[in-house]
């Protein structure tokens, strides 16, 4: 897909996303910790990909991790893909929207949180859109 990012050209993504959404979803950026609208969000519902609308996380899997970003212990099955990320000199696991490839954040394991999966999906609020029940 030369020149295209999961079915859309860069100019098409730029037309539908804000500059900050484009920076994070399409260029694998990160929002500053503690600045995202969903970090302390507690309403019941579903968090979808802001790029394509695919449901990614249920509010029942969200927990307070104190990391500065929204944290979830599991995604909706099949909605989130995992990829090795070696950009900072260490291997991390990047998570993306399976449907559009939008960068969501990273997943961390074994941190000792009392969750069913012992995982923390650390997600940029900018990558998400909340839909209440």
Known catalytic residues are 122
C-alpha 30/C-alpha 111 separation (Å) is: 21
- The set of residues, in sequence order, having a beta carbon less than 8 Å from that of 100 and lying 6+ positions away, is 6, 7, 8, 49, 51, 52, 54
DSSP 38-53: TTT---SEEEEETTT-
| DSSP state for residue 61 in the 8-state scheme | G
């Amino acid at each position: 897909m030369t020149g295209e990012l999961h079915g859309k050209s860069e100019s098409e993504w730029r037309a539908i996303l804000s500059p900050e959404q484009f920076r994070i979803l399409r260029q694998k950026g990160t929002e500053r910790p503690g600045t995202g609208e969903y970090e302390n969000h507690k309403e019941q519902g579903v968090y979808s990909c802001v790029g394509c609308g695919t449901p990614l996380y249920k509010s029942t899997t969200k927990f307070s991790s104190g990391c500065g970003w929204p944290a979830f212990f599991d995604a909706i099955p099949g909605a989130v893909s995992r990829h090795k990320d070696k950009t900072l000199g260490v291997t991390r696991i990047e998570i993306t929207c399976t449907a559009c490839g939008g960068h969501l954040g990273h997943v961390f394991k074994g941190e000792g949180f009392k969750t069913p999966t012992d995982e923390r999906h650390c997600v940029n609020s900018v990558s998400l859109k909340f839909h209440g029940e």
